Amino acid sequence: MQKINQAIILAAGQGTRMLHLTRNKSKHLIKVFHKPFLSYLLNNLLEAGYRELVIVAGYRVDLFKKFLADYHFKAKLVNQYEILGDKQKEYGTLCPIKCVKDIAERNFLVVYGDNLYSIEDLERFNISDEYNYVAGFEHEHPEKYGVLKLEDGFLKEIIEKPKQFVGNLINTGLYKFTSDIFKVIPKVKPSSRGEYELTDAVNLLAKGKMVKVKRLQDFWIDFGQPSDIPKFSRFLSKNRNKELYRL
C-alpha cells in the first residue's frame, strides 16, 4: 500500500493562554532546551517518514520563515491570513484546512503545531485507505477535552467538554484525512464562539461512517499554557535516551 508523504501542521494561532510568552511570537516557537517546540514535532514527523511538510501559519509568519531557515527545515509555509484574512474576519481550527485544499494530496496527515507524539504513533497513522482517522487517548479528566464516542468500530461523534461522563477517550488533535474532508467544509457553520471548528467537519464525516478511531500507544504532549513548559522539560530530560523523539 502506498505510504502517505504529506503532513499538514496547523500553527496559525498566537496562543494567548501562554500569556506574556506569546506577546511577540506564537506558542509554537517558544523554546525548551534551547529549541522551539515546533522543532521537536517536525523532527518526529520526518523520522516517521513524512517528507512533505506544510505549515499553515498566521500570526508572525515572518518568525516562521526565520525558524525554518535557522533550523534547516524544508517545509512549505502557507499564510492563512493572506488567504482568509486575519482572525477578525474568519477564524477557527478548520480555517488552516481550508487553506490547503489546492495542495493537499488524496491522503494526508494533520497535526496541531503545539502537540507532540512519538515517532511510532506517527508511523501508525500512515494509513493510505478510504477512511479518515482521529487519534484517541485515555485521559483521567475527559471533561476538559473533546470526547470520542464510538459505535460499531467507527467514530459516532466528538462531544466537546461534556458536562456528564460519556467516556474517557479524548481527541488529541492528530488526524489522517482523505480529500473527502473538503466536501463537508462548506457545510460547517460558525460555532457558539463564532469560530469554524475542525471537529464539526469531522462530525459531519462521522455521520457517514467515514471516520475511524486509532488509539495512541505512547504519549501525547499538549503545549498550550505556561505550566506545560516545565512539564515538557521534565519529559525531555526523563526520556532523553528513548526513541520517542529527537533532540
d(CA 104, CA 52): 10
d(CA 96, CA 78): 9
Buried b (16+ CB within 10 A) or exposed e, 91-129: bbbbbbbbbbeeebbebbbbbbbbbbbbbebbebbbbee
67: how many CB neighbours lie within 10 A of its CB? 22
Smallest Cα–Cα separation from 112: which of 168, 56, 59, 63? 56
128-186 pLDDT, tens digit per residue, is 999 999 999 999 999 999 999 999 989 999 999 999 999 999 999 999 999 999 999 99
182-209 pLDDT, tens digit per residue, is 999 999 999 988 899 999 999 999 999 9
Question: What is the CA angle 89-132-140, rounded to 5?
Answer: 85
Beta strands per DSSP E along the chain: 6-11, 31-32, 35-36, 52-57, 76-79, 107-112, 115-117, 132-138, 146-151, 154-160, 169-178, 211-215, 220-222
pLDDT of residue 18: 79
Residue 245 pLDDT more than 90? no
d(CA 70, CA 44): 18
C-alpha cell at 182: 473538503
Chain centroid, CA 194 distance in Å: 20
Query: Confidence band (pLDDT; 50, 70, 90) for 246?
Result: low
Mean pLDDT of the chain: 92
Of the listed ranges 14-28, 97-111, 155-169, the one predicted with least confidence: 14-28
Could you give all domains of the chain from N- to C-terminal order, each with its CATH number?
A: 6-131+172-202+216-238 (3.90.550.10)
Residue 7 pLDDT more than 90? yes
CB 131 within 8 A of CB 178: yes
